[in-house]
Amino acid sequence: MAETSSSSEDQNPNHIPIEIISDDEMAFIEAALAFASTRTCSAIRSSSCSSSPSKSPLHNNALSITVVSKRSLSSGSDIEDLPPRKRNHTLSDSFLRRFRNRRGLSVTDITSTEWCPKQMEFSLLLGGRKVNQAMRAGIARHAKLEQEVLKRVEVKIKYQEDLWALKFLNFINGVNQLLFEGMTRELPVIGFAEDIWMVGVIDEIRMPLKQNDHNPILIDTKTRARDTLPAEPQRRNGRLQLMCYKYLWDNLVADNFPSNIFFTYFGLNPQHNLCEDLKVTSADSGFSASTLDDVVRYYRNTCRMLAPAHDQLLLRYEYQKDHSLLGEDKFTYDHDWLTNQIRSCLEFWLGEQEATYPPEDERWKCGYCQFAPVCPAYNGSKETMGPKSNDLNIKEG
């Protein structure tokens, strides 16, 4: 991917300028997409599921779900409620315990912490992030990409066991779509990262065109409000995101999903009798499941037949106005770099280190942070902020 570093390049009429963009809105978009992508497989009825009593009622929450349009196979639903695994040195008042208890960290939590731990702290303590027109455009674009292979339907479920069975079935059918059609989108992944539950939703997965290559290719599409490429800190953050997805995917295919720990931490009954809609859905998926444990066992079997993700990962940057391709960032997975980044972020979440500020050469981020007025670093960075804000696009999808 081309980069700019000199004034001579700026004089090149074919040169695409790089603009500086805050990552907080990008993180919000990922979270919004994850929330919006709850889905199921097959033609499921929009009615309440009946099931046996359980310890974990959902208060009849209605879930917006999707189904593959070309086949009776769906991509996976978002997964946002996984419990953290207990660590001896985790403080009871850590951010992980206070804000992600029984949920786990999302990939967005990791990338947002890498962008600026202090901003992540303010977001947790003072509230969420603002939404603007460019962010909405990014969400709409991803929804359109999803609709190219998925169709939305709605189902109502009542118990946590049914909810999790639905999510696992969606993953299974998303993988089926990948294997039969060569591509799927919005696929959930769950796993351990340094003994902590981590979850995410992969934007797109494609099978290689070469017949002797069976390693799926992970892709993430970023939309841009202007026809410019992001600065290096933003690209670095995007690379971190995709590497996290590969880390989680590879753990799954290595059969590293601890079912018993999963049931225990969620307080789930593995023998819970699934609602009739989910039994029908599992049958349509090619196997018979009556309980949550049945679904989890088939889920693990599905993961075993997959290959690790390709070491070459791909970030795509699109122009929001016409969806033209601005550039691609092809890079190689770096396991050591990734685990160092995750460990550094976990020091903040586990209360082992206070929130730090960006390095001096990235202190321009403060100019695009909604928490700048209450941040001690802001006043000291005003004179080193770089270009004025009206020269920059602050939002990205």
Same domain, 94 and 235: yes
State how beta strands 18-19 and 196-206 pair: unpaired
Residue 197 has pLDDT above 80, yes or no: yes
Residue 179, exposed/middle/buried by CB under 10 A (0-12, 13-18, 19+)? middle
Identify whether residues 133 and 169 lie together within a single domain.
yes
What is the mean predicted confidence (pLDDT) over 316-333?
94
Beta bridge partners of 185: 204
Contact predicate 266/34, CB 8 Å:
no
Q: Looking at residue 7, what DSSP letter applies?
A: H
How many domains does the chain contain in total?
2
Question: What 8-state DSSP symbol labels residue 273?
Answer: B
pLDDT of 93 higher than 70: yes
Would you say residue 225 has pLDDT above 60?
yes
Q: Are residues 160 and 59 located together in one domain of the fold?
A: yes
Lowest mean per-residue pLDDT among 38-42, 46-50, 127-131, 343-347:
46-50
Confidence (pLDDT) at 80: 30
Do 302 and 385 lie in a common domain?
no
How far is CA 312 from its chain centroid?
19
pLDDT band at 393 (very low <50, low <70, confident <90, very high): very low
- Percent of all residues in the chain with a pLDDT value above 90, rounded to a whole number: 42
| Helical (H) or strand (E) element with 292 | helix 292-304
CA distance linking residue 66 with residue 201, whole number of Å: 15
Question: Residue 373 falls within a domain, yes or no?
Answer: yes
Contacts of 254 (CB under 8 A, 6+ apart): 308
Task: Check whether 241 has a pLDDT greater than 70.
Answer: yes
pLDDT at residue 167, rounded to an integer: 84
Do 240 and 183 share a domain, yes or no? yes
With contact defined as beta carbons under 8 Å apart, do 310 and 208 qualify? yes
Mean pLDDT of the chain: 75
Q: Which candidate, 389, 391, 392, 367, places its Cα nearest to that of 377?
A: 367
pLDDT in tens, 13-31: 433 333 333 343 344 334 4
In a domain, 26, yes or no: yes
Token pair belonging to 261: 């720990």
Domain assignment present for 202: yes
The model's pLDDT over 340-364, given as tens digits with 9 standing for 90+, comes to 999 999 999 999 999 999 999 999 8
Answer yes or no: is 314 within a domain: yes
Helix (H/G/I), strand (E/B), else coil: 378: helix
Judge whether 47 and 80 are in contact, CB under 8 Å: no
The answer to whether residue 210 is domain-embedded is yes
Distance CA 79, CA 76 (A): 9
Whether residues 33 and 152 share a domain: the answer is: yes
Reduce the secondary structure of 110-170 to three states and give it as a string.
HHHHHHCHHHHHHHHHHCCCCCCHHHHHHHHHHHHHHHCCEEEEEEECCEHHHHHHHHHHH
Please give the share of the chain, as a percent, with pLDDT higher than 70: 65
Is 268 found in the same domain as 150? Answer: yes
Count CB-CB contacts under 10 A for residue 150: 26
Question: What CA–CA distance (Å, rounded) separates 125 from 123?
Answer: 6
CA–CA separation, 153 and 63 (whole Å) = 9
Residues in the chain: 397
pLDDT at 155: 60
Cβ neighbours for 88, distance < 8 A, ≥ 6 positions apart: none
For residue 1, being part of any structural domain is answered with no
What's the Cα-to-Cα distance from 286 to each of 216, 289, 377, rounded to whole Å? 23, 10, 56
Same domain, 286 and 371: no
- State which residues form the domain around 336: 19-356
Indicate whether 79 pLDDT > 80: no
Banded model confidence at residue 173, pLDDT cuts 50, 70, 90? confident
Same domain, 233 and 342: yes
Q: Looking at mean pLDDT, say which of 221-230, 260-269, 310-319 comes out highest.
A: 310-319
Tell me: do 243 and 373 sit in the same domain: no
φ, ψ of residue 200 in degrees (nearest 5): -165, 170
Distance of alpha carbon 169 from alpha carbon 289, whole angstroms = 10
Same domain for 172 and 61 = yes
Of 248, 143, 142, residue with least CA distance to 188: 248
Q: What's the CA angle centered on 343, arms 337 and 348, to 5 degrees?
A: 135
**DSSP track, 186-228:** EEEEEEEETTEEEEEEEEEEE--SSTT---PEEEEEEEESSS-
